[in-house]
Structure 1
Amino acid sequence: MNWKRLYAASQIAGVVGGVSIGAAGFYAVIVVGVCRRLIGLSDNIALFAIGLPLFIVLLIVFVKYLPARLRKAGMLSDDPSKFGPWFKS
């Protein structure tokens, strides 16, 4: 086992997963709050009918597009092309 590959895999999964969950949760909470205050929806409808699907969609979008942006920003230190076929996009 190449420990450098294992480190790169855990770093990519941890950073991208954490940032994706945090950002998707943040935006979903903002949209749920706006729906509750401005539209007047009940808690259950706003949370489960709007917030949860929005969270899932945003999570998928962030997981797909964030690795390149985070690598460009310097938050992911290792380029996947260095580690062989495991990390090809």
Structure 2
Amino acid sequence: MNWQRLYAMLQTWFVISLASVFSAGFYTVIVVGICRKVIGLSDSISVFGIGLPFFIVLLVVLVKYLPKPLRKAGMLSDDPESFGPWFKP
């Protein structure tokens, strides 16, 4: 693997992981808020009992299924030539 492919792979994994962590955290905060306000659970049960497992499961699901929509949106690319002029020979 040359350094161009390594750079492309690292950039792809960075974008996927950052988007997954942000999305999972956002939805977890919403679920924990609903558990606290609507259902009336305590802080420790709603955060550690529901929020943490929900975050972990959602993170795994997003890491698995998020690359396809990100490629479709043009945020990910496997072609190293599209990463900038510094890759031109």
TM-score for the superposition, normalised by structure 2: 0.84
Letter in 2 for 1:48: F
Equivalent residues, number: 79
User: Could you tell me how far apart the structure 2 residues matched to 1:41 and 1:2 are?
Assistant: 53
1:65 aligned partner: 65
Any unmatched runs of 5+ in structure 1? Answer: 80-89
> 1:43-54 residue pairs with structure 2 within 5 A?
43-54=43-54
> For the aligned residues, what is the CA RMSD?
1.0
Percent identity of paired positions between Structure 1 and Structure 2? 67
Any unmatched runs of 5+ in structure 2? Answer: 80-89
Runs of 4+ off more than 2 Å? none
The structure showing larger relative contact order (alpha-carbon pairs under 8 Å, at least 6 residues apart) is 2
Which structure has the larger Rg?
Answer: 2
> 1:1-89 residue pairs with structure 2 within 5 A?
1-78=1-78
TM-score for the superposition, normalised by structure 1: 0.84
